[in-house]
């Protein structure tokens, strides 16, 4: 869980940095345009080089964010599957220890619904709900 949350925070930070670099690139392009109007070719070339650097940084940040998101999804989904498996095993172990008289007054459908739907809802919360709460 900690790994998934760490990757989630890293992904959000990388995604948040992209608009900042875009702002700097636009500002530098504006500076280059103003320099071209003044006839300063050296400033235009410098501005163009910086815009290219910012574009490369933006692409690298987007790739980093994508990789961190993939890792985060893998970590959170794996953790949720392990929790689901452990809960199912514990639930069925508990059912096996109950006396036969318990099953006379408890509908089988209710027991199966708890074994499938309720435990699956917990897995979905751990896999997707945590991600939605944090972001």
Upper half-sphere CA count for residue 22 (Cβ side, 13 Å): 9
Tokens of 120: 């699956």
CATH of the domain at 45: 1.20.1560.10
Q: What is the pLDDT along the chain (135 residues), one digit of tens a residue?
A: 788 888 988 999 999 999 999 999 999 999 998 888 888 888 889 999 999 999 999 999 999 999 999 999 999 999 999 999 999 999 999 999 999 888 888 888 888 888 889 899 999 998 888 888 877
* Structural domain for 56, as ranges: 2-134
Tokens of 121: 């809802």
Neighbours of 110 (CB within 10 A): 9
What domain count does the chain have? Answer: 1
| Cβ–Cβ under 8 Å, residues 45 and 109 | no
pLDDT value at residue 106: 87
Neighbours of 87 (CB within 10 A): 16
DSSP state of 78: H
Tell me the pTM: 0.76
């Amino acid at each position: 869980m900690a790994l998934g949350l760490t990757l989630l925070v890293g992904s959000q930070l990388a995604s948040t940095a992209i608009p900042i670099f875009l702002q700097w690139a636009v500002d530098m392009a504006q500076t280059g345009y103003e320099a071209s109007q003044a006839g300063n070719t050296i400033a235009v070339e410098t501005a163009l080089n910086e815009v290219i650097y910012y574009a490369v940084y933006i692409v690298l940040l987007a790739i980093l964010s994508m990789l961190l998101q993939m890792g985060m999804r893998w970590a959170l989904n794996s953790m949720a599957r392990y929790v689901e498996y452990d809960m199912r095993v514990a639930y069925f172990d508990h059912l096996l220890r109950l006396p036969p008289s318990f099953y006379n007054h408890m509908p089988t459908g209710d027991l199966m619904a708890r074994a499938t739907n309720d435990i699956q809802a917990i897995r979905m919360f751990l896999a997707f709900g945590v991600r939605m709460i944090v972001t």
